[in-house]
Structure 1
Amino acid sequence: MNIHEYQAKELLKTYGVSVPAGAVAYSDKQAAQVAEEIGGSRWVVKAQIHAGGRGKAGGVKVVDSIDEVRKAADTLIGTHLVTHQTGPEGTLVQRVWIEQASQIKQEYYLGFVIDRATQRITLIASAEGGVEIEEVAKHHPEKIIKEVVDPAIGLLDFQCRKVATSIGLKGKLMQQAVKLMKSIYRCMRDRDALQAEINPLAVVSSDGQDRLIVLDAKFNFDDNALYRQAAVAELRDLAEEDPKEVEATGHGLNYIALDGNIGCIVNGAGLAMASLDAITLHGGKPANFLDVGGGASPEKVTNACRIVLEDANVKCILVNIFAGINRCDWIAQGLIQACNALQIKVPLIVRLAGTNVEEGRKILAESGLSFITVENLDAAAAKAVEIVNG
């Protein structure tokens, strides 16, 4: 789950991290009012969407008057901002963040990610801030500093000092960096975040003093931990997420929308990925990833069918079940229940194997409904592709 920049900054403030004075606005008049309340003579107006590359796409504007704040907000709100992460259709801008413009002396990159290789949170930093870190890593990997955090003892001061020294921070700025890094680490750990990215982390001059401040922040949270992170879950912007994915989560289903026309209902993430591969191998395009998980009740299967069919591109549904904890008779009952309740018009290709497979096949055969049953995944994928191709 992603959150907006303004939400990330508000979250970081609760951990003592310095961010520019600012507020969110939903209209041009509100934006002008925010700028007046903040004060100063220069402001930054930033589109709030779940995508990077906003600056290059015109989603970040630096202005020098209240009237320009209003005009910039009016230009951004209600438009579709297209970045390299949104796709050609762009994302609708519904709000902007107004903050004081900072007198930047130096920019850095700082991030915390979960490294699958070490299975630990890893601190990543670079003196090349304000640019795409992927490009820096690709062309100048020596400029990327990494420090692995031992979960038993947490992020230590000497590790922070080591990273700060490597990117050129020293003196009072090093002291600030140690405090800031430990605060962001604690925020990430406490809130079950998968990623925290600060880009740029800037040295700004204020009243003749240099200080570190977070100019942009992004967080990504573990969906599976939201049940114990109520405050984080409330930050979810449903308008920026696929409503089918949000609904699926509420029913205990793992659903990811894709751009094909063969709907998939599978149990187990590994088998689901294999099903997508099989469809692609036979020249088809899957419309989704959907894992019903273990213990799929008939109601859960019905909900899965309904969510898959909310995609108007779906021309058939491939059901691939290898039952262990699940039972094939439950799946069969759910498919029949779904056909009767939803009046499904598209073909259903069903492959059942495992626990109670004979009972499941018998239930389907005696249902009077036109299920297409197959013995294995390869045959199921081939049949699905054959159907959608006419």
Structure 2
Amino acid sequence: MSAITQGASPPLRRFSLRFCDPQLEHAYRRETFSRTLIQGRAAILVGMLVYLLCGLLDIWHVPPEARWDVWQSRLTALMVPSLLLVVSFTAAFQRLAQWWLLAVCVAAGFGLIAIQSQVPLENTPYYYPAMVMLTFYTYNFIGLRFPYALGIDALLLATYNLVFGVLLDYPAHILFSHNVFIVSANLIGGTTGYLVERQGRQLFLREKELEEERRFHRERSLHDPLTGLPNRELLYDRLEQALVACQRNQMLQGGLFIDLDGFKQINDRLGHRMGDNLLEQVAQRLTDSVRKTDTVARIGGDEFFVLARDLDSEQDIHRLASKLLENLRLPLAGVPAPFALRASIGVCLFPYPDMSVNDIIHRADMAMYRVKTAEKDSYCLAELKPCQSGTSYRPGTA
């Protein structure tokens, strides 16, 4: 199993909340992008509506001669989210999603500061709460990651104090009261944003762990625990797929039933551990002898099965059977010379009329027994009925 399943799950970085594993970080961003996209679009639309609603305050709290300048600031700030709505329907948004959302918050913040700077001092209590709303907006609504939101709000807080404390020289007690509420909003919104993102990433990790565990148990249930080869259940599934494919394209397929000769003697004389080691070596040799599109399965004891897909002609199966026998005759590591290992192979070619998975395995098994009761260390083709196209496959032996 992977490191996640084994308990060595990649931790989160404490401040940035990034996964230490870059691949896991990439997977998280890929899987959460659709949610970020939907949330970002919704937040932009709502934010633009709220921005415009705040403009109603101008009727009572902005002098008539300053209203056009205030609305210029407001409409200029709204150009950024309007552009982003268009960009969100292109591939450019996915590549730089966090930066685009960041730009919306920066534009909104500087727009609010520009608007408030044109409002008489006595009317600022009606406008600075918008900075408090923007703080919660960046941390908890638009979909920005915590480090980005924290950086933006720190920048806006510094700019707010620079503009109103230095350039416009607000009275200290008024600026301090504004800071109290803006900083408090940062503490509440920032803590909430941090915890929500951390919990979301931990939940993602847990889902990955469960997915890895399910995949591990699924693979384990379909593979032989000793050799790692597909087991009988998975072999049946691959054979079903081959049956469907050959009925569609009439390509020749081959099933080879392999039984080891002399394995019981080696297992009894040298012990089960040596027997297990021998089976692992045989599995590796069989796997090395076939193509990647073929399947090597262990169906029990010292019996194996090879599914050879999409053969050009019957000669291919003869060459494959001979190759398997030749490779199995080579000395095995740790097995003394007197204990020779050989194999008997039965071959069933298909398609043929009324074929089925069980019938293919049965025919190959019967052909293998004919070899085993005769000379062994050879192969035999099962007798087949003519296929649907009218061509018959000739039985043969090595």
Q: Same fold (TM over 0.5)?
A: no
**Bigger share in strand:** 1
**Bigger share in helix:** 2
Rg larger in 1 or in 2? 2
